[in-house]
Amino acid sequence: MSETKSLVQKQFGAHAAGYATSPVHAKGASLQRLIDLVRPEKHWRVLDVATGAGHTALAFAPHVAEVIASDITDEMLAEAEKLAKSRGLENVIFEKADAMALPYDDGSFDLVTCRIAPHHFPDIPKFVAESYRVLKPGGTFALVDNISPDEGSTPGFTKDELHEAAKAHNAFEKLRDPSHGRCLTIEEWRTAISEAGFSISAVEILPKEIEFIPWAERMGADKATIAQLEAVVMGSSGALRAFFRPRQQGGKLYFSLDEGLVIARK
Ligand SMILES: C[S@@+](CC[C@H](N)C(=O)[O-])C[C@H]1O[C@@H](n2cnc3c(N)ncnc32)[C@H](O)[C@@H]1O
């Protein structure tokens, strides 16, 4: 097994339960926005890649015929299954699958979703190509992931300043969670999805407010690491500060991470 895959399974395996209740995953604005833009149909067969605790799969389930909720981490699949049971959803199937090698036939799905996960994937072109392959002609690809700053998300800075801020953002994420790979910029997503052959119908940037402490603790970072992460947010300047937008409220630290959303058709 690749080092990336086993790191992901170790990190998410140990912290699976936190994702069932995490507000940014369970209630994030991108969830409803995906449904509004995709407009799912009753007869659809859907694949949710890297389902985590299942929030995206379960949000689509009431609108379609069947959802396959897939992930490489058994503990996350167990959390997702628990959540589906608690909501009385019976049209969701839970399956172990690697996003880079989806175990499904060509043209199997009307919709492939993937939300807040590709920043862990070792090969984005392979993941996008796999999503394209398993979709029926005319099928929809709906992607949301945390993005790094560029001109689109964080205007008013030079290319070099934004490049440095994107590097610092990814190093910050990796410090909190060693299974973090890389957040792409929204332009990199647009390019990767078009180059796979998709026609893009919507691209949006959704700001996401993060309460620092629960976010820092969710992946089990120790006290020293949390202090280091806080120092990065508080000490940020220039493009990185404009991207993080740190603020204190009621004695708590909040900052922002942007999500990029792309809807495309095969
Ligand atoms: C933050 S969670 C996903 C959140 C979820 N999609 C949602 O909407 O709430 C990230 C998930 O990606 C999964 N993952 C990471 N790399 C993967 C891969 N190569 N293939 C499939 N799943 C993967 C992890 O196991 C984890 O469950």
Domain assignment present for 229: no
Smallest CA separation from ligand 1 atom 15, residue: 120
pLDDT at 28: 83
In a domain, 162, yes or no: no
Q: Please indicate, yes or no, if residue 228 is contained in any of the structural domains.
A: no
Residue 154 lies in a domain: no
Structural domain includes residue 245: no
Q: How far does the centroid of ligand 1 lie from the alpha carbon of residue 142, in Å?
A: 15
Got the DSSP string for 116-178?
S-GGG-S-HHHHHHHHHHHEEEEEEEEEEEE----TTTS-SS-HHHHHHHHHHHHHHHHHH-T
Q: Does residue 234 lie within any of the structural domains?
A: no
10 Å CB burial of residue 258 (0-12, 13-18, 19+) is buried
- The predicted structure's pLDDT at residue 103: 98
From 6, 48, 116, 128, mutation site for ligand 1 pocket: most ligand atoms within 8 A of C-beta: 116
Domain count, the chain: 1
Full domain range(s) for residue 82: 3-148+180-209+256-265
Question: Could you read off the pLDDT tens digit of each residue along the chain, which spans 266 residues?
Answer: 577 888 888 888 888 888 777 777 877 899 999 999 999 999 999 999 999 999 999 999 999 999 999 999 999 999 999 999 999 999 999 999 999 999 999 999 999 999 999 999 999 999 999 999 999 999 999 999 999 999 988 999 999 999 999 999 999 999 999 999 999 999 999 999 999 999 999 999 999 999 999 999 988 999 999 999 999 999 999 999 999 999 999 999 999 999 999 999 99
Burial (0-12, 13-18, 19+ Cβ within 10 Å), 137: exposed
The pLDDT of residue 152 is 87
Measured in Å, residue 52 CA sits from the centre of ligand 1 at 5
Contact 135, 105 (CB under 8 A): no
pLDDT of residue 241: 97
**Both structure tokens of 254:** 């909040």
Q: Please provide the DSSP assignment of 163-220 as one string.
A: HHHHHHHHHHHHHH-TT---PPPHHHHHHHHHHTTPEEEEEEEEEEEEEHHHHHHTTT
Residue 233 within any structural domain of the chain = no
pLDDT of 18 reads 80
Look at residue 7 in the predicted model and tell me its pLDDT. Answer: 84
Contact status, residue 49 vs residue 117, Cβ threshold 8 Å: yes
Identify which of 141, 120, 109 has the alpha carbon closest to the alpha carbon of residue 76: 120
Look up residue 136 and give its two tokens.
């029926």
Q: Is residue 134 part of a domain?
A: yes
- What pLDDT is recorded for position 133? 98
CATH code: domain of residue 81: 3.40.50.150
Which residue ranges have their beta carbon within 6 Å of ligand 1?
Answer: 5, 8, 12, 19, 25, 50-53, 55-56, 71-73, 76, 98-100, 115-117, 120-121
DSSP letter at 228?
A: H
Residues 69 and 47: their CA atoms lie apart, in Å, by 6
